């Protein structure tokens, strides 16, 4: 086992799962069951295990927190602001998936609830998830998705 003299950041992943219904976009969010930001809404996601790749971790966290299984995800961007997580240095790789229709979801594991929200009417979000959502949809809407 190796040891290091310097601290290392934690690696997490977040999932942007969305669906278009007519002209409206809905985004899947979970309500956090634990601190930090307990009871606030966030993107589904969590820590990458030592024995899994990042996309696998994203799919696992999504299923654990919402019950939703997604076959294919696309990597969007990495977020690495120094203080994005009040617990410690955390870097998150964000993945996305567009669904054909809203699926039934339920909060599980460390998610108190899971639900679909209109992009134009999102609740107050944990961490930097508002920034992530804004940047993602600015990107895809500019590409005429």
Kind of pairing between the strands at 10-21 and 90-99: parallel
Q: How far is CA 82 from CA 12, 34, 47, 102, 128, in A?
A: 14, 21, 17, 34, 11
% of residues, the chain, pLDDT over 90: 90
CATH 3.90.79.10, applies to 10-142 = yes
pTM (predicted TM-score): 0.93
> Which tokens in the block code for residue 3?
């040891």
- For 125, which DSSP code? B
CA-CA distance, 88 to 109, in Å (whole number)? Answer: 22
- Helix locations, 37-128, DSSP H: 54-66
For 133, the 3-state DSSP assignment is: helix
Domain boundaries, given as residue ranges, for the chain:
10-142
Residue 7 vs residue 125, higher pLDDT: 125
pLDDT band at 1 (very low <50, low <70, confident <90, very high): low
pLDDT tens digits along 32-82: 999 999 999 999 999 999 999 999 999 999 999 999 999 999 999 999 999
- Whether the pLDDT of residue 132 is over 80: the answer is yes
CA-CA distance, 139 to 8, in Å (whole number)? Answer: 31
């Amino acid at each position: 086992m190796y040891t290091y003299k310097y601290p290392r950041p934690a690696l997490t992943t977040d999932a942007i799962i969305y669906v278009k219904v007519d002209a409206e976009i809905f985004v899947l969010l979970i309500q956090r069951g634990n601190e930090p930001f307990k009871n606030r809404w966030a993107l589904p996601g969590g820590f990458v295990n030592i024995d899994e790749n990042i996309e696998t971790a994203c799919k696992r966290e999504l299923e654990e927190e919402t019950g939703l299984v997604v076959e294919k995800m696309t990597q969007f961007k990495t977020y690495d602001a120094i203080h994005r997580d009040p617990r410690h240095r955390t870097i998150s790789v964000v993945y996305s998936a567009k669904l054909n229709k809203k699926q039934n979801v339920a909060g599980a594991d460390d998610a108190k609830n899971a639900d679909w929200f209109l992009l134009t009417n999102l609740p107050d979000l944990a961490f930097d998830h508002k920034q992530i959502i804004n940047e993602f949809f600015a990107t895809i809407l500019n590409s005429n998705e």
